Chain A
Amino acid sequence: MATPTYDLIVSSTVATLTTSVTFSSLPSTGYQDLVVVINGTAETESFIRPRFNSDSGNNYSMVRMEGNTAGNTESTSSASASDMIWGKLEDNNGLIIAQIFDYLATDKHKSLLVRSNAVQEKVEAFALRYASTSAISSIEIRGTGTGLEAGTLISIYGIAA
């Protein structure tokens, strides 16, 4: 039987320039995956470096690829980082969509897929892993530099499975 899902859990529009927006008390039942959509700007440029559960330990690994305005492609990776990279926002509008799988699982690491469009400079795709078997109960969206500008919209959706 079809089950309606893909529900908006929370949505927040940045009111004033900020380097951090935290979504706590994420649902502990009812969903298996989360989708985070970030649509906004930064004064100059701001790398989006989220953390889960306020965890600043070296528990995040990543592989990424990009195509950029210079006509080049590149791929890099990192392991045991203290935060994630989901791409960046610039002074024109940017769009980041992060897929978080099995965010409540306590028997597996958390896997993520991210697409980032900072169209002034590049498009990127990421695969990430959060090396923790704790359920994710909070997400902090951190922006480097001066951070996220007013008007940046962050939405989190829940998907059942």
Chain B
Amino acid sequence: MIPLRKKPTTQLPRGLALSYNNLMKIDITHVAKLANLQLNSQEKEKFEKQLSETLTYVGKLNSIDTKGVEPTSQVTGLENVIREDQIKPSLTQEKALSNTFSEHNGMFKVKAILE
């Protein structure tokens, strides 16, 4: 095997791991409410443990110094993708409603959101 000459320009950070070994706690009741999920008490206990373990693991990112590093949300660099604003055939009202259990007079029926 031939070692590659060029040194990689990105080096492992020397920063210290912050509280990496302390278990992260998650407020499962609050998060479930935000996510609109109903959990029973058994589920709460199980998910709290499992999610705390995962959060503790991902906490290892804290040991990386990311000061001044730009976040990447689009990996291929495409920007401002647009198309002609033309009306084209789309689903009929009937088809758009074909999978709902909650229809009234050709419309989706939802619960009242205002008193």
Do these two chains really belong together in a complex? Answer: no
